[in-house]
Structure 1
Amino acid sequence: MKTTLTILALWSTLFVQAQVKPQVPQPVRIYAEENRTMREPLLVLDQGFVYREERSAFREPIYKFEENMMYKLDRWQNRKEPILTIEKGKIKQGDGRFFSKVIYTVDGNQIRVGEGTFLSNPVVYVIENGTIKLGEGAWAPVLYRIQGDYTMEQIACLLLTCL
């Protein structure tokens, strides 16, 4: 009787674990603020690739996120060129080696210019409630609306290169 219950318990845990599917991140869609209907996004970030179009049969990726790098894709020459490096909340120019300049620093929901503290570097963008604002404060204009699963570093890279 005990072995039967043990076998049933094992089978039930295996069955439950088999039904649990891994969480697939939702594609990130960025819309212009003027586009209130949110029909056609400006950019789509899906599984590490950045596209300008969402539903085109001929859509081609223009950028790719891979580990801590963002690459520009060149289909004609079949190569990828490192353009940005993400390192501990800092967005650096190039492949991150030697004397790479820090362009943006991600600080919570704020993106700042360069490297420094909140006293020395102004806030360029604030991301909150699905919007990307220019500057901080209640009167900061909303530039873009955003949907999906993203990291602040990815959004900072997209703002720097594509928008």
Structure 2
Amino acid sequence: MQRRHVAAGLAGTTLLAAGEAMAQAVPPAPRVTVPQAPGAPPSRGPATDPWRQGLEAGILSLVTSQIAESRAASPQVKAFASFEVAEQRSIVQAQQLAGLPVPPQLKVEGDEARLVQQLETASGEEFDRLYLRLQLASHQQLLALHQRFRANGSREQKIISTMAAVTAEQHLRLLQGIQRQG
């Protein structure tokens, strides 16, 4: 058992070092803005480009997880949020390395902005429940999109989506487990 933890720790350190080296060669992640006005604009509806839909779902997951890193009540929720922030940043970097389009700036607006604002005003167990619900919905959407790209996307999309779909499946199981404990 301890050997697995040591091996996982060494692998994590190696991946971290490799990630830091790659990050130096990768353009910065897109800036994300979230309107702060109470009356956010109406939802823009679903993006017509499925790859952009996945990027937007990932960005929503990133933004809500950044909030959860400091606001979650449960240590399990905080830990998941940290994993999710790292994962979403890595996916954006992988997309950039693969030459896939990543706009320099993305906005969380409409319905998604209202969800972020709800999350920002929640606290304690209410915050955790709302965050878990948002993450479950986001990961289900991400899983469906990445499964589609794994089957029918470009070579680069298939590569990214192969890893992203597996991660989304694992995260759905983790989220469901955390939800059952709470």
Both structures adopt the same fold (TM-score exceeding 0.5): no
Q: TM-score, normalised by structure 1?
A: 0.24
Q: Counting strand residues as a fraction of each chain, which structure ranks higher? A: 1
Q: TM-score, normalised by structure 2?
A: 0.22
Q: Which has the larger radius of gyration?
A: 1
Higher RCO structure, 1 or 2 (CA under 8 Å, sep 6+): 2
Q: Counting helix residues as a fraction of each chain, which structure ranks higher? A: 2
